[in-house]
């Protein structure tokens, strides 16, 4: 690998010499050192959550579903393979910050184009390293994900700012992450399937996975049902996305207008919004599911899959007619998937595209293709 540049060395030295701290909304303090971007006032804020993946930190950081959140990595050594343009899940990160234990400031991988501190700095994302992430994770696990602040400001300033920090409850972040305009990806031209994907914060790996089964036309979250049907889709996909599903504007009405007219498949936020359109509710989990090692049982086959997950909210379909539960999380028994018995629609809470994570659930894209084929005229 080529010698580290003077700019990278300057950032490395600046990061190593600048103390920083985290102050959570309940007043708990964690010490560390700053890296990445620096907020002008020395204060960054967001909802602190923890992610248990052991690889794929770039994919996690660039996942739009983390908008409004500060990601704490439980794996202690982060940054060792650097970053590259291929592994991004969106055009830029939308998270509010990154927390790590041991930061590798000199990447060692043939694919690396940039180190992690430089990547975050370029995208305006602040980070804090040297944190006791084991203690922080245990605190969030015991008390739930919570708002907080971090940065290089003095402790008194951070403590005061933490009192007014806000989490994701009641906040619609979809409008911030959805595409500005429609675009198309046509990989599998032989199938003849035309899939319209509603971008609620869609990941690149999801678009790539869908394109294996047909041409994909990605549209903004504000697209109406009539506008989507005018595209003559064989199927409609509802993507992942950030924030509180109960606060998302326009998309639920769009989904209601599509039900029964075209096959639908939803993932994560798409799963939650489909449930709401059918009459279900959502509620916030104590500390969410974020990681690549969650066991889920597919009730239709009896098989157990290790899945990739990233969500703070869960679906409650109690009392909703015409619903069959298809997947259950084996860690806490929460609902992970369902399908409709009278219309062609199904959804899962976990991420079968697995960017990053295991690929044991990738068959769900094939199920969507089969659903489309069985409903094509």
Structural element, H or E, at residue 298: strand 281-298
Locate the DSSP E strands across 144-192: 146-151, 183-186
CA separation for the pair 74, 54 (Å, rounded) = 8
Strands (E), 227-303: 235-238, 264-267, 281-298
Contact 23, 320 (CB under 8 A): no
Catalytic residue chosen out of the listed positions 268, 289, 305, 314? 268
CB distance 348 to 327 below 8 Å: yes
In angstroms, rounded to a whole number, what is the distance separating the alpha carbons of residues 236 and 161? Answer: 43
Q: Measuring CA to CA, which residue among 204, 205, 219, 202 is closest to residue 254?
A: 219
Angle at 257 between CA 279 and CA 248, to 5 degrees: 60
Active site residue 114: no
Q: Would residue 353 show up in a list of annotated catalytic residues for this protein?
A: yes
Among 59, 305, 336, 353, the active-site one is: 353
CA distances from 189 to 147, 195, 213, 271, 368 (A): 46, 12, 9, 27, 17
Q: Which of 271, 290, 327, 351 is catalytic?
A: 351
Q: Would you mind telling me the total number of residues written for the chain in this entry? A: 377
Residues 6+ apart with CB under 8 A from 107: 1, 79, 80, 81, 82, 83, 115, 116
268 an active-site residue?
yes
For residues 175, 179, 182 and 184, what is the CA-based torsion angle, rounded to 10 degrees?
Answer: -140
Strands (E), 62-177: 69-73, 77-78, 97-99, 102-103, 126-129, 146-151
Q: What positions carry a catalytic annotation?
A: 268, 351, 353
């Amino acid at each position: 690998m080529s010698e580290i540049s003077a700019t990278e060395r300057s950032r490395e030295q600046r990061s190593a010499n600048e103390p920083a701290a985290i102050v959570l909304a309940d007043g708990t303090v964690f010490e560390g050192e700053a890296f990445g971007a620096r907020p002008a006032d020395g204060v960054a804020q967001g909802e602190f959550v923890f992610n248990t993946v052991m690889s794929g930190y770039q994919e996690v950081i660039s996942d739009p579903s983390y908008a409004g959140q500060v990601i704490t990595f439980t794996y202690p050594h982060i940054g060792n393979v650097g970053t590259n343009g291929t592994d991004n899940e969106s055009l830029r990160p939308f998270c509010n910050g990154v927390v790590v234990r041991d930061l590798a400031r000199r990447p060692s991988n043939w694919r690396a184009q940039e180190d992690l501190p430089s990547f975050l700095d370029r995208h305006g994302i602040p980070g804090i390293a040297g944190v006791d992430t084991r203690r922080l994770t245990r605190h969030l696990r015991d008390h739930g994900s919570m708002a907080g602040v971090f940065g290089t400001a003095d402790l008194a300033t951070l403590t005061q700012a933490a009192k007014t920090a806000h989490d994701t409850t009641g906040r619609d972040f979809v409008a911030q992450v959805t595409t500005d305009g429609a675009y198309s990806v046509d990989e599998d031209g032989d199938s003849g399937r035309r899939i319209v994907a509603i971008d609620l914060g869609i990941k690149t790996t999801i678009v790539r996975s869908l394109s294996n089964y047909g041409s994909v036309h990605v549209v903004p979250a504000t697209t109406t049902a009539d506008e989507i049907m005018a595209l003559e889709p064989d199927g409609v996909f509802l993507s992942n996305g950030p924030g509180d599903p109960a606060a998302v504007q326009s998309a639920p009405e769009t989904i209601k207008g599509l039900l029964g007219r075209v096959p639908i498949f939803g993932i994560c936020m798409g799963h939650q919004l489909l449930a709401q359109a059918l009459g279900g509710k959502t509620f916030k989990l104590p500390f969410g599911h974020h990681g690549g090692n969650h066991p889920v049982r597919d009730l239709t086959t009896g098989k157990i899959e290790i899945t990739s997950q990233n969500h703070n909210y869960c679906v409650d379909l109690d009392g909703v007619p015409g619903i069959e539960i298809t997947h259950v999380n084996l860690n806490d028994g929460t609902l992970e998937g369902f399908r409709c018995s009278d219309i062609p629609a199904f959804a899962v809470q976990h991420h079968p595209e697995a960017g990053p994570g295991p690929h044991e659930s990738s068959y769900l894209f094939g199920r969507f293709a089969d659903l489309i084929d069985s409903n094509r005229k």
